[in-house]
């Protein structure tokens, strides 16, 4: 059976129409997001259904289930909110053993990655709804070029051009020394030392720990160093772009120094982006403001339908709190607008009107305004779900980095589930 793309899977399983998939593809192209994340962000399917579709995709490719059988399983996931495996067992399908052609199985079988590292990457891939290959590269377990070659071997295996033993033999030839860090890690090491963000002694310690544990250098720094997480996110992204050739080391070093010079609370990510732009260094092709906080939370499954109803219920029951947040927001917008006008030249005054709720607006309109405003939605979430404060704060920081060209969307999704 030909390998089915995710868009084909969701239409074959009658989860949506071709037109809706096309709409999601346009969104994915505009934001740089994977199609699966775009389908969730556009509220075409839920995160749990996306995970089920990904599992159905490989089972269809390995001919372990028919389209009709997958449709029945995914329908049960959608209706009962069960996991794909639970739905499989309930319907009497016992096909957990694949033909060995899944990416994780090839990486294990060829000796490219230790089983525990594949399991770690699979766990993150599942939680973040990201392809396993992207997570393996983000963890810096393997370089992108190696993953690309294994995926090509996988395609040939599934097309029947080679058998499993031949696929494992070919993939095994890609094996590199486990005692060496990935190219991205080596670039990150050089950036950190050249920018004097860490000492050579510290780098050696983290290098040894990364090699011994089989983890990426960025992962070790995130867990154990004193580097602010937001700064590390950006530096890791710079290192990856240097490796891919989309950024020279010289330009990457300029961006690293800009990042170092920032005062943690004095400049926003947008300032970093504008500064780098004025210096002639382009970080990526993304443009600011592409993704709203609401859409981003949908991608992360932090604001699904049930959670959104909880939020609206809280806002309705606590109108005084929401009215106070709206008043503070309007005051901040007014002050920001006045500040901008003062900074502009007299020859080019700013007449743009700040976004505020129109006087006499209905309560429904006010709720909609709060949800559509990134900062207001963030404030409302902190009020409604104080126990998740750290999660929402981190999500907004990552989104700002994406919208200001400092991180790709995939990188932010990976870090959000760290």
Considering 106-115, 272-281, 313-322, the range whose residues carry the highest mean pLDDT is 313-322
Average pLDDT of the residues in 223-247 = 82
Confidence of residue 280 (pLDDT cuts 50, 70, 90): very low
Residues 106-165 pLDDT 10s:
999 998 888 888 888 888 888 877 888 988 887 777 878 889 999 999 888 888 889 999
Predicted confidence at residue 125, as pLDDT, reads: 85
d(CA 325, CA 218) in angstroms, rounded, equals 38
Average pLDDT of the residues in 344-361 = 60
Q: Is the pLDDT of residue 59 over 90?
A: no
Predicted confidence at residue 262, as pLDDT, reads: 59
Residues 172-221 pLDDT 10s:
888 754 445 677 778 888 888 888 888 888 877 887 777 776 666 777 78
Q: Which residues contact 141 (CB under 8 A, 6 or more apart)?
A: 113, 117, 121, 182, 214, 215, 216
Residues 84-110 pLDDT 10s:
888 888 888 765 555 667 899 999 999
Per-residue burial over 375-390, b = 16 or more CB atoms within 10 Å of its CB, e = otherwise: ebbbbbbebbbeeeee
Predicted confidence at residue 116, as pLDDT, reads: 85
Predicted confidence at residue 80, as pLDDT, reads: 87
Q: Is the pLDDT of residue 48 over 80?
A: yes
SS3 230: helix
Q: Is the pLDDT of residue 263 over 50?
A: no
Predicted confidence at residue 350, as pLDDT, reads: 47
SS3 174: coil
pTM check: above 0.85: no
> Which is more confidently placed, 169 or 141?
169
d(CA 158, CA 58) in angstroms, rounded, equals 10
Tokens at 167, concatenated: 């696929």
pLDDT-above-70 percentage for the chain? 84
Predicted confidence at residue 44, as pLDDT, reads: 93
- CA-based end-to-end distance of the chain: 36
Q: Is the pLDDT of residue 357 over 80?
A: no
Average pLDDT of the residues in 211-233 = 76
Confidence of residue 368 (pLDDT cuts 50, 70, 90): very high
What DSSP letter does each residue of 30-95 carry, written as one string?
A: HHT--HHHHHHHTTSS-HHHHHHHHHHHHHHHTTSS-HHHHHHHHHHHHHH---HHHHHHHTT---
What DSSP letter does each residue of 317-343 carry, written as one string?
A: HTHHHHHHHHHHHHHHHHHHHHHHHHH
Predicted confidence at residue 276, as pLDDT, reads: 45
Confidence of residue 358 (pLDDT cuts 50, 70, 90): confident
Q: Nearest-CA neighbor of 136 among 102, 161, 159?
A: 102
> Which is more confidently placed, 337 or 164?
164
Predicted confidence at residue 286, as pLDDT, reads: 36
SS3 87: helix
pLDDT-above-90 percentage for the chain? 29
| Cα-Cα-Cα-Cα dihedral sign, residues 103, 108, 112, 114 | positive
Residues 319-333 pLDDT 10s:
999 999 999 998 888
CA 330-334-335 angle, to 5 degrees, is 120
In the chain, how many H helices and how many E strands? 24, 0
Lowest mean pLDDT among 26-30, 182-186, 279-283, 380-384: 279-283
């Amino acid at each position: 059976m030909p390998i089915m793309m995710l868009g084909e899977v969701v239409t074959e399983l009658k989860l949506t129409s071709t037109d809706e998939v096309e709409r999601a593809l346009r969104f994915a192209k505009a934001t740089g997001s994977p199609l699966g994340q775009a389908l969730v962000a556009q509220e075409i399917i839920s995160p749990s259904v996306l995970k089920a579709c990904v599992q159905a995709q490989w089972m269809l490719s390995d001919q372990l289930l028919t389209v009709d059988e997958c449709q029945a399983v995914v329908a049960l996931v959608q209706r009962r909110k069960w996991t794909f495996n639970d739905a499989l067992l309930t319907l009497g399908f016992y096909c957990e053993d694949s033909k060995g052609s899944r990416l994780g199985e090839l990486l294990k079988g060829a000796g490219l990655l230790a089983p525990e590292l594949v399991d770690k990457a699979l766990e993150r891939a599942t939680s973040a709804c990201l392809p396993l290959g992207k997570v393996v590269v983000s963890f810096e377990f393997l370089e992108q070029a190696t993953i690309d070659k294994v995926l090509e071997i996988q395609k040939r295996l599934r097309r029947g051009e080679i058998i499993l033993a031949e696929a494992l033999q070919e993939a095994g030839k890609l094996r590199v020394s486990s005692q060496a860090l990935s190219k991205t890690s080596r670039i990150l090491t050089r950036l950190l030392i050249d920018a004097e963000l860490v000492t050579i002694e510290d780098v050696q310690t983290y290098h040894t720990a990364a090699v011994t544990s089989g983890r990426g250098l960025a992962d070790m720094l995130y867990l154990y160093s004193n580097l602010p997480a937001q700064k590390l996110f950006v530096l890791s992204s710079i290192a990856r772009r240097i490796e891919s050739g989309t950024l020279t080391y010289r330009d990457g070093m300029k961006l690293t120094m800009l990042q170092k010079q920032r005062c943690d609370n004095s400049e926003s990510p947008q300032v970093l982006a504008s500064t780098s732009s004025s210096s002639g260094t382009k970080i990526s092709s993304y443009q600011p403001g592409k993704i709203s906080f609401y859409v981003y939370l949908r991608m992360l499954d932090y604001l699904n339908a049930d959670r959104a109803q909880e939020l609206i219920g809280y806002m309705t029951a606590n109108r005084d709190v929401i009215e106070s947040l709206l008043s503070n927001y309007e005051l901040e917008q007014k002050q920001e607008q006045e500040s901008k006008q003062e900074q502009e030249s007299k020859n080019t005054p700013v007449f743009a009107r700040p976004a505020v709720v129109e006087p006499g607006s209905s309560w429904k309109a006010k709720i909609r305004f709060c949800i559509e405003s990134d900062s207001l939605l963030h404030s409302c979430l902190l009020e409604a779900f104080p126990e998740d404060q750290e999660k929402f704060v981190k999500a907004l920081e990552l989104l700002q980095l994406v919208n200001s060209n400092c991180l790709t969307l995939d990188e932010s999704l990976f870090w959000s589930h760290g």
